[in-house]
Structure formats: structure tokens, C-alpha cells
Structure 1
Amino acid sequence: MSIDNVSDIWDQLFGAQPDPPGVLVLVTAAIALVAVAFRPVWRIARNAITIAHEGGHAVIALLTGRKLRGIRLEFDTSGLTLSAGRPTGPGMILTLLAGYVAPSLIGVLGAWLLGGNRITLLLWLAVALLLLMLINIRNAFGAVSVIVTGAIVFGVSWFADPPVQAAFAYVGVWFLLIGGVRPVGELQNQRSRGRMPESDADQLARITHVPALFWVFVFFVTNLAALAAGVFLLAGQFLNGSTPWT
């Protein structure tokens, strides 16, 4: 690869893309909202939320000095991240906290990158994180899920035209922001029926001696705040967006 080619890739990765049409921000938000609200679509698309959820557990486990044992992603969109270390203490608490808030916080990061028109950088970061996650997947369905997701993101980032890349990136970020809220409601619904005795919230309750409902509330408020932050960041793109695509 020549120096010129490396320079071109660097410019493509870290350079800002043109402003998207303002209407794209609204249309992609509507698409993401439908994907979250419409149950048949949600059942499939929720796998992306699970990937982000388990990835959040894994990253915080490593950052707090725990040893990552592996990640499983299941067909029913549930998941499990195993790590070794002290069963109590700040590291375990932060690891348990990370799952339900990870999709929304990743969505805020994505909204910030989109606010700077760093669409290519956003897509390539997603591919890199998926590759790192794949190394730690310990079941066949999980590996297929991550590979397919990564292949789609890479394909769009490498082969698609800028308008398609922008639409894909905006739908993805909106989906993380909006979709990060729904699992918290599902969590409490399942807990109220006694179907999730080992949920993240219940494990936090046992470790901290603070009621599980408090931790559900923390998840919910954090994700709503992330959604509000994402709306604020992306609203600027709507107001400043171009009319025709140039």
C-alpha cells in the first residue's frame, strides 16, 4: 500500500463527511422507533442491544481488573458474560451496572460522532469493537450473530455510497438510544412475575443490600438521560442539515 493510499484512508476515516439532509435525522429516528415498538421487528433487532449489553459487561470487567471468561449470546436474545474475580466490591458492582446502560451510552457516543459528521469513523469503530468481542464469544449462535452484524457494518462502511452510510449510521444510533430504554421495562416486567431472580438488578441488590427496584430505576433514569442527550446532539444535525445531498 502506497503512502498516498494510507493518507487517503486516514483522511476518509478521520475526515468529516458532508452534512446529511435534515429530514434524514427525523426519518431515521422514526425507523428506529418502529423497530423498537413493533414486536416482530424488535425480536430480531434486539440482538444488537444484547451485543451492546454484554459488551458493556465485558469492557467494564476488564477495566476493573477482572478476568473475562467468555460471552454467550442466545437465540432468545438473552446473553451471559462470565468474569473471574472478587464476587463483591466495586469491580463487580460496576460490571453488573454496565450491561443495561451500555447500549444507551454507546448511542450517546455515536450521536456525538454523528454531530461531527464522523460517519466513517463511527462505522469502523463499530467493526473494531465487534471483532474484539468475537474473540471472547463462547457459543456458535453468538459467533454467528457477531460475525453477521460485523459483516453488515463493514459492508456498508466499505462499499456503500455516503448517503447510505449516513442513513445506516443514523438508524443504528437512534436504535441504540431508543432501544436501550425498552429492555429496562422488560426487566421489571419479568421481575414482577418472578421470572428473573438472577437479573443484574437482583445481583446488585444482594451485593449492595440496596433493593433491586432501586437499580432498575438507576438503569431507567440513566437511559432516559442518554436518550435526551442523544436527541440534543442529533437535533443540531437536523437544524443544520443540508437540503439536497451534496
Structure 2
Amino acid sequence: MAAVELLAEIWSRVTARQVVPPSSQVLLSAAAALAAVILAWRLVRILTTVVHEAGHAVVAMLVGRRLQGIRLHSDTSGLTVSKGRPRGPGMIATLLAGYPAPAIFGLVAAWVLSQGYAVALLWGSLLVLALMVLWIRNFYGLLVIAVLGVGIGLASWYLQPAEQSLIAFTLTWLLLLSAPRASMELLRRPSANSDAGQLARLTRVPAGVWSTVFVGIGLFALVVGTAMLLPQVIMR
């Protein structure tokens, strides 16, 4: 009975709409996220890498590849290994998914927030992290997922709705702002072993073109996501 009541409570929280925090706090969360992307990039990039590798993993399974595992490294890099044909549309789609994943997730998160479901966003993020645990294959990766999961879980359960909304806004800004920066780094420092480099070998389209596409996707998501979030502040 206790389990049923717990599930009912979680469902009640997930489906409830939250009040958007005061305008000053939402703008402050955007400023804080921007400062973090500029001044604490190494820490922010860990979050970006988690979503990046999740993107590879999800698309790999969607195209019929067999997911082998995910590794997160202390230098903020990551690796997702899947088994299947080394060439062809499935492999290309899997490689394509990484860099756009933070931008796409940030865009979806912005839409969810625009509908007033901040807690649902936090619980959804927690579910993604829980599923990733099944595929993490190194201790550092488990540690990263555990820290993120515990933090989001505690915030989802114990904080007040206004505080939960503020955290959800901040996480969304971090993804929207970090996605273009990660792609710009790839464009400035190309590598044959990067996603863009591997795509170049598979498609004969230069790596610089793929990196530019990634930057474009990140900037597009940032513009559209901002357009979704700011009216929640300006029109209140």
C-alpha cells in the first residue's frame, strides 16, 4: 500500500503545473548559466557530455544497433559503444546524434517549462539518468550519474515548487548555452577520431561541414529555446 501511495504522490507531482519564478530570478538563472558556461566550462561540459552520450545511445538503439556500454571520463570526454554494421545509415545516424543531443534536449526542456511542468522535467531527467546507469561501464561514469541523480532527486522531492522551477530553468539554460560552445570547440579543434571526423570518413563530407552543422543546430536551439522561455518572464 505504501508503494502505491508513493507512486500516486510522484504522479501527482509530475502532472502538476508550477508557478513560474519571479522574472528577476528567471533572468538571474540565465545569467548564472551563461557565467557557468564561460567561467566553469569544465564542470558544465560534464553535464553536456552526459546528454551527448545519451543521444548516441538512444539513436543507436532506435536504428537497431546493440548498445554495448557508455563511458564518461574525467577529462569530460565520453564514449558510447554499440555493435552493428560499421557503415551505412544506422552508423551515420548514431554518430550524428551526439553533438545535437544537448541542444535538442534543451529545446524540449524549454517547451516543457513553457507549459509549466518544471517538476515533470526534473523527474524526466531523473528517469533518463536511471536508465543510463544500466549502460555505464566505468566507475567515474557511475559517480557522475549518481551525483546528478541524487541532486535532481532531492530537488524534485524536497524543494518548494518555485525552487524546483528555478533549478529546471537553470538546467535548461545550461543545455541551450553549452550546446553551441561544445560544437564550436569541435570546429576550432578538429580531430580525426571525433564524431565529425568519423562522419567525414563515412560520408566523404568534410569534417568541418559536419562541425558547422552541429554549431548551427546548437544556435538554432538556443534562439528558439530562448523565444520559448523569455515570454514566460516578459508576459507575466
What TM-score do the two structures reach when normalised by structure 2?
A: 0.95
Alignment partner, residue 27 of structure 2? 26
Residues 203 and 20 of structure 1: CA distance in aligned 2, closer, same or farther (over 3 Å): same
Would you say the 8 A contact 1:25–1:237 is kept in 2?
A: no
CA RMSD of aligned residues (A): 1.4
Distance 2:217 2:231 in 1: 22
> How much does 1:163 deviate?
2.2
Out of 175, 197, 200, which is 1:202 matched to?
197
Alignment partner, residue 12 of structure 2? 11
**Structure 2 unaligned spans of 5+:** none
Runs of 4+ in 1 over 4 A off after TM superposition: 2-8
Residue type matched to 1:158 in 2?
W
Higher RCO, Cα 8 Å, sep 6+? 1
- 2:103 corresponds to 1:104: yes
Residues 6 and 68 of structure 1: CA distance in aligned 2, closer, same or farther (over 3 Å): closer
Alignment partner, residue 169 of structure 1? 168
- 2:178 corresponds to 1:179: yes
- 2:117 corresponds to 1:113: no
> How much does 1:8 deviate?
4.2
> How much does 1:143 deviate?
0.6
Sequence identity, in percent?
44
> How much does 1:9 deviate?
3.4
> How much does 1:48 deviate?
0.4
Would you say the 8 A contact 1:113–1:122 is kept in 2?
A: yes
> How much does 1:19 deviate?
2.7
Out of 184, 209, 215, which is 1:214 matched to?
209
- 1:129-184 deviation digits (Å, cap 9, x = unpaired): 00101110001100100111111010110111122211111110000000111111
Residues 118 and 132 of structure 1: CA distance in aligned 2, closer, same or farther (over 3 Å): same
Distance 1:133 1:9 in 2: 21
> How much does 1:18 deviate?
1.7
> How much does 1:4 deviate?
6.7
> How much does 1:187 deviate?
1.1
- 1:38-74 deviation digits (Å, cap 9, x = unpaired): 1xx2112210000000000000000010000100000
Would you say the 8 A contact 2:42–2:76 is kept in 1?
A: yes
Residue type matched to 1:71 in 2?
I
Residue type matched to 1:227 in 2?
L
**Structure 1 unaligned spans of 5+:** 242-246
